[in-house]
């Protein structure tokens, strides 16, 4: 029997290097001015037309694809309005960055994973989770889409 998992690596085609090389790697390139609970996080669909088209053709045609960028640790939270998210990690934010999932008591660790660059993941984001270990001066850049809302 399988143990419950909250993040799983999935085998989907890698995004082509020519598309990835076009992506800006700085927070300011994605920051849309929208305020989030933490100042080091942005979700953006700025200049996402090529990525959105590629992901629709190669992953899921009915999803909208955009960017998530983090420049520091993310506090414990649940995503608002999303149950499961697909994520392609472009930049990790450092060599020892962990994504952790917790029970509703916010203290019981359910799963801990160090996600790899250039890999696809399915993540259950309607449970408490956080990202820790993002190194100063590094960014964690991902292409993301909501699988189920």
Q: Give 10-residue mean pLDDT values along the chain (149 residues).
A: 88 96 82 67 89 96 93 92 95 96 97 97 97 94 91
| Residue 60 buriedness (CB in 10 A; 0-12 / 13-18 / 19+) | middle
Which residue spans within 45-119 are E strands per DSSP?
66-70, 74-77, 84-92, 98-102, 109-113
Q: What is the pLDDT of residue 1?
A: 64
Q: What is the pLDDT of residue 42?
A: 85
The whole-angstrom separation of Cα 78 and Cα 76 is 7
Q: What is the pLDDT of residue 3?
A: 81
């Amino acid at each position: 029997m399988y143990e419950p998992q909250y993040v799983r690596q999935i085998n989907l085609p890698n995004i082509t290097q020519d598309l990835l090389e076009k992506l800006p790697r700085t927070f300011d390139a994605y920051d849309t001015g929208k305020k989030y609970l933490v100042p080091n996080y942005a979700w953006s669909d700025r200049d996402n037309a090529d990525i959105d088209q590629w992901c629709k053709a190669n992953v899921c045609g009915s999803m909208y694809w955009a960017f998530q960028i983090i420049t520091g640790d993310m506090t414990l939270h649940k995503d608002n309005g999303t149950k499961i998210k697909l994520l392609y990690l472009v930049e990790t934010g450092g060599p020892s960055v962990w994504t952790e999932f917790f029970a509703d008591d916010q203290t019981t660790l359910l799963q801990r994973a160090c996600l790899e660059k250039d890999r696809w993941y399915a993540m259950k984001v309607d449970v408490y989770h956080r990202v820790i270990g993002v190194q100063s001066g590094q960014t964690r850049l991902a292409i993301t889409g909501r699988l189920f809302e």
